[in-house]
Amino acid sequence: MNEQEFGRTLAGHLNRGLTQINRDALDRLGQARERALAAYQEPVDVPEMALSAGHGMLSGRGRARKGRYAYLLPILLLLAALTFAFYWQSAPLDDNIDDVADIDARLLGGDLPIQAYLDTSMDSWLENSADQ
Amino acid sequence: MPAVQRKRLLGVANRYPKMTPEQQRRIRARLDVWSRLTPEQRTQARDKFIKLKQLPPEKRQEIKRKWVERQQAAQPVAPPAATAPVQGGSN
């Protein structure tokens, strides 16, 4: 007996068994089936994380892609945040460098030598002059 | 050299062509000393430079004069040159 013949024989036994089920059992089976169908709900996609809520619009092949590329979204957001933070930090720093370079140029090209600005006497002279 | 210090020196170099020959000479002479200072010393020098610039011109000149006088007074006095040659012991 090959596989097809076995399948047909088994189907015949099952069909014969089905005709021999009594009426009461058939009613109970029917009611159970209706209850099962009533309780059945279409599966709903639950967003895996709040940030990927927009992916709910994807369907079919899109869902498969979502699963594959979902991890990219937080990485992209992180990169965007780091880029923004770097820009925010570096812009004032460059301005500061420019200002300090301007001071350095005037200090180095000025008529007083560097030692004058490191001299502790300069502190008291500056304070006295500022107080007057 | 830290990147920030390098950028600042490049900023000085960018301003260099627009300076007077005298300012350019001073920068060339002082750049070596400036680069050897610690960051704290450079900050201290900048702070005093800014404070000095904020003073009225006459007070600024007074402080500069004080410092120059102090430097001149601190310089060691050269021993007086011998007026007469040392007599030798020759006969």
Reported as a pLDDT band with limits 50, 70 and 90, residue B75 is confident
* pLDDT tens-digit map of A53-93: 454 455 555 555 666 778 888 888 888 888 877 766 655 55
Distance from CA of B86 to the nearest CA of A (A): 41
Per-residue burial over B31-69, b = 16 or more CB atoms within 10 Å of its CB, e = otherwise:
beebeeeeeeebebbbebbebbeebeeebbeebbeebee
How many Cα neighbours within 13 Å face the side chain of B1? 11
Is the pLDDT at B4 greater than 70? The verdict is yes
**Complex-level ipTM beyond the 0.85 threshold:** no
- CA gap B65, B57 in Å, rounded: 12
What does the block give as tokens for B27?
């920068």
CA B68, A130, A125: angle at the middle one, nearest 5? Answer: 30
For residue A57, give the 3-state DSSP assignment.
helix
Contacts of A104 in chain B (CB under 8 A): 8-9, 11-12, 34, 42, 46
Percent share of chain A, pLDDT over 70: 63
Give CA–CA dist A70/A64, Å, rounded.
10
A120 contacts chain B (CB < 8 A): no
* Identity of the residue in B27, B48, B62 whose CB atom sits nearest the CB atom of A108: B27
With CB atoms and an 8 Å threshold, state whether A112 touches B31: no
Q: Which of A5-19, A42-56, B11-25, B61-75 has the lowest mean pLDDT?
A: A42-56
Place of tokens 């009533």: A38
Answer yes or no: is pLDDT of A22 > 80. no
Lowest-confidence range among A87-96, A113-122, B55-64?
A: A87-96
First-to-last alpha carbon distance for chain A, in angstroms, is 118
Mean of pLDDT values over B23-44: 92
Q: What is the mean pLDDT of chain A?
A: 75
